């Protein structure tokens, strides 16, 4: 539970990681380091500590001990985020062989195609994934991004809003909608969402700063976007693992040397 709350940006990642470590320590004391617990630990090392080499070794060991779709899905994320797409594709095929109906598999397959910049195939696989898992906000948000990056902004906007209906307590979904609206030139609607998110922050609601970056960039507020990126680093946003391959961040890569990006 703590791993998922932190991973999906529903609660502050540093707080959730501390809770996860404590809960996992108790679990290991009770039943030893099972392949499932090893895979959880490896995933946490990747997402919360950025120790991808150690995470990869632990995931591969867990796969040897007891292969599962969960383990291979986590390898898809790790390899995709590192730009190691051949290994990510191999992991994707193994995940399908283990359990093609695993709930998060379709969403993470779309992430793979997004990272690979194959938006057409991301749309195709995203639609197929929603036919299998229509109520998972993650898959719908990735599908919406594939639509947006393909220029199908009206369809993307509808999917972003559906994702929020499915997961109303996850603020970064609203940030994705606002960034899409900004690119469509609907500034008034964007400002209303941004103000709502800032108000939530003032009331101690966790708003993942990583997703505020493309929103502010789309508004032409690059300096503010980089300040949000600094905040994401300070808060150890769980989304930072994908920054090197995330299409949402492409426009920021042109920033001159000496910036936080470097």
pLDDT digits 0-9 by tens, 134-182: 999 999 999 999 999 999 999 999 999 999 999 999 999 999 999 999 9
pLDDT score for 254: 74
User: Which regions of the chain carry the CATH code 1.25.40.10?
Assistant: 1-113
Residue 261: pLDDT over 50: no
Each residue of 14-25: pLDDT tens digit?
999 999 999 999
Contact 240, 13 (CB under 8 A): no
Q: In the prediction, which pLDDT does 259 show?
A: 47
249: number of Cβ within 10 Å: 18
Alpha carbon distance, N-terminus to C-terminus of the chain: 34
Asked if the model's pLDDT at residue 185 lies above 60, the reply is yes
- Please state, in angstroms and rounded to a whole number, the distance separating the CA atoms of residues 80 and 59: 15
Distance of CA 202 to the CA centre of its chain: 24
Cβ neighbors of 199 (< 8 A, separation 6 or more) are none
CATH assignment, 130-262: 1.25.40
* pTM for this entry: 0.93
> Half-sphere exposure of 177 toward its Cβ, with a 13 Å CA cutoff?
24
Q: How far is CA 47 from CA 74, 143, 160, 204, 233, in A?
A: 10, 22, 24, 23, 13
Closest CA to 62 of 52, 53, 75: 75
Structural fold of domain 1-113: 1.25.40
Q: What is the pLDDT of residue 253?
A: 83
* 219 and 190 Cβ atoms separated by less than 8 Å: yes
Query: In angstroms, what CA-CA distances link 50 with 30, 35, 78, 82, 124?
Result: 28, 21, 10, 11, 31
Q: What are phi and psi of 185, to 5 degrees?
A: 85, 15
Q: What is the CA radius of gyration of the chain?
A: 18
State how far the Cα of 27 lies from the Cα of 37, in Å rounded to an integer.
Answer: 8
**CA–CA separation, 226 and 229 (whole Å):** 5
Query: What distances in angstroms separate CA 78 from CA 38, 82, 129, one per listed residue?
Result: 15, 6, 20
The alpha carbon dihedral of 161, 165, 171, 172 has a sign of negative
User: Which DSSP state fits 184?
Assistant: T
How would residue 257 be classed by pLDDT, with cut points 50, 70 and 90?
very low
Average per-residue pLDDT for the chain: 94
């Amino acid at each position: 539970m703590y791993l998922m709350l932190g991973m999906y940006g529903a609660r502050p990642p540093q707080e959730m990681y501390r809770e996860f470590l404590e809960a996992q320590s108790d679990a290991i004391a009770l039943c030893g380091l099972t392949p499932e617990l090893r895979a959880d630990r490896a995933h946490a090392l990747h997402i919360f500590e950025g120790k991808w080499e150690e995470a990869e070794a632990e995931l591969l060991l867990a796969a040897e001990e007891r292969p599962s779709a969960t383990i291979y899905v986590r390898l898809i994320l790790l390899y995709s985020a590192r730009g190691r797409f051949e290994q990510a594709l191999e992991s994707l095929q193994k995940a399908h062989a283990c359990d093609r109906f695993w709930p998060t598999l379709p969403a993470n397959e779309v992430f793979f195609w997004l990272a690979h910049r194959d938006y057409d195939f991301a749309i195709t696989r995203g639609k197929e994934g929603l036919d299998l898992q229509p109520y998972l906000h993650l898959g719908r948000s990735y599908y919406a991004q594939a639509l947006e990056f393909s220029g199908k902004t009206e369809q993307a906007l509808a999917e972003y809003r559906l994702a929020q209906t499915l997961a109303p307590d996850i603020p970064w979904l609203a940030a994705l909608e606002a960034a899409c609206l900004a690119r469509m030139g609907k500034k008034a609607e964007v400002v209303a969402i941004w103000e709502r998110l800032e108000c939530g922050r003032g009331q101690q609601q966790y708003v993942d700063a990583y997703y505020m970056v493309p929103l502010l960039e789309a508004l032409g507020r690059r300096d503010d976007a980089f300040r949000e990126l600094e905040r994401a680093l300070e808060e150890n946003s769980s989304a930072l693992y994908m920054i090197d391959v995330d299409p949402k961040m492409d426009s920021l890569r042109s920033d001159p040397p000496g910036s936080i990006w470097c």
